[in-house]
Amino acid sequence: MKEACWYESIYVVQQPTQRGGYKGSDVKLYIDYKNQKRIEGTKLYAQNSNELEEAIEQAYKYCYKRFILKE
CATH number at residue 58: 3.30.160
Q: Which long-range contacts (CB under 8 A, 24 or more apart) does 34-39 make?
A: 34/8, 34/9, 34/10, 35/9
| Structural domain harbouring 36 | 2-68
For residue 17, the model assigns a pLDDT of 84
For residue 54, the model assigns a pLDDT of 97
C-alpha distance from residue 29 to each of 37, 64 (Å):
11, 16
In the chain, the number of structural domains is 1
Give the side-chain half-sphere CA count within 13 A for 37.
Answer: 8
Q: pTM, whole model, 2 decimals?
A: 0.85
For residue 24, the model assigns a pLDDT of 73
Per-residue pLDDT tens for 3-48?
999 999 999 999 888 765 566 789 999 999 999 887 788 899 998 8
